[in-house]
Amino acid sequence: MSAEGAKRRKSGGGRRREPEAIPAVRVDGLVKEYGEVTALAEVSIDVAAGESIVLVGHNGSGKSTLLGLIAGTLEPTDGSVAIHGQAPDTMAARAMRSWLPDAPVLYDDLTVDEHLRFVARLHGGSGDEPVIDELVERLGLAERRDQLPSQFSRGLRQKTAIAVALCRPFSVLLVDEPFVGLDAAGRAAMLDLLSEAHADGSTVVVATHDPAVLERFDRGLVMSNGELVHDGPTTGLPDWLGGA
């Protein structure tokens, strides 16, 4: 973990690794149906605190649905989700979980800086944390922090969304397709930030199609047609991506 990363964690809200009995994320018999379509069919997963997970599978395999259910933006048809033992809609779960969806969700009329400060404050910060300056710097947004993301390219909007997701305290980080639209520098920065969050004790769950990053994670899950078809080491995951 870098020195900057350590500094950021401290200012970000005092997260630390402790002995863990309850999983950071528990998914139990989760089912999600849209009318007659079953997007997720009885998926059960336990993710230990501090674990990093990569979620792979073809389009329509159920990755985003699973992440949406853990993030609390979707409601299960059956089964349950718990974040450190808390229901996903509770204040405690919302405080612990940071969710970075595949499409950036940003206000049209707030600048990069205002986004970061307001989101930090919504999560109990002062809005003046050093982590904000650090993220802006590392993601190459320093020159643009007083500009509106609505006028940015897709890649810059994605970088802003990443900064917004990481500028607040969290212990569970959920990320859906983080590398879409990013240039090489942005991609490298994103990978470093994910590694630092993991090294600092946060649980990281990332859904991606990018085979080049799979082995950076502790554990790999493969989804196919709404079912979990593989749960184990990340070695060999590229084969699953080719044939799942």
Restricted to residues 181-240, the positions that interact with other proteins (CB under 8 A) are 201-203
Helix (H) / strand (E) element for 70: namely helix 63-71
Helix (H) / strand (E) element for 7: namely helix 3-13
Measured between its terminal Cα atoms, the distance across the chain in Å is 34
- For other proteins, the closer CB: 122 or 229: 122
Restricted to residues 17-46, the positions that interact with other proteins (CB under 8 A) are 17-18, 20, 22, 24, 34-37
Closest distance to other proteins from the beta carbon of 171 (Å): 4
Q: Which of 26, 63, 84, 219 binds other proteins (CB under 8 A)?
A: 84
How many angstroms separate the CA atoms of 177 and 210, rounded? 9
E strand spans, 120-234: 172-176, 203-207, 219-224, 227-232
- For other proteins, the closer CB: 7 or 34: 34
Q: Give the other-Cβ count within 10 Å of 140's Cβ.
A: 15
Cβ within 8 Å of residue 78, ≥6 positions away: 29, 30, 31, 42
Restricted to residues 92-121, the positions that interact with other proteins (CB under 8 A) are 92, 94-96, 99, 101, 105-107, 109-110, 114, 118-119, 121
Closest distance to other proteins from the beta carbon of 165 (Å): 10
Total residues in contact with other proteins, by rule CB under 8 A: 49
- For other proteins, the closer CB: 109 or 146: 109
Restricted to residues 128-157, the positions that interact with other proteins (CB under 8 A) are none
Are 92 and 166 spatial neighbours (Cβ–Cβ below 8 Å)?
no
At 116, list the tokens: 């970061």
> Is 158 a residue that touches other proteins (CB under 8 A)?
no
> Is 124 a residue that touches other proteins (CB under 8 A)?
yes
- For other proteins, the closer CB: 68 or 181: 68
- For other proteins, the closer CB: 115 or 219: 115
Helix (H) / strand (E) element for 98: namely strand 97-100
How many angstroms separate the CA atoms of 29 and 158, rounded? 33
At 21, list the tokens: 């009995």
Residues that bind other proteins (CB under 8 A): 13-18, 20, 22, 24, 34-37, 49-50, 71-75, 84, 89, 91-92, 94-96, 99, 101, 105-107, 109-110, 114, 118-119, 121-124, 127, 164, 169-171, 201-203
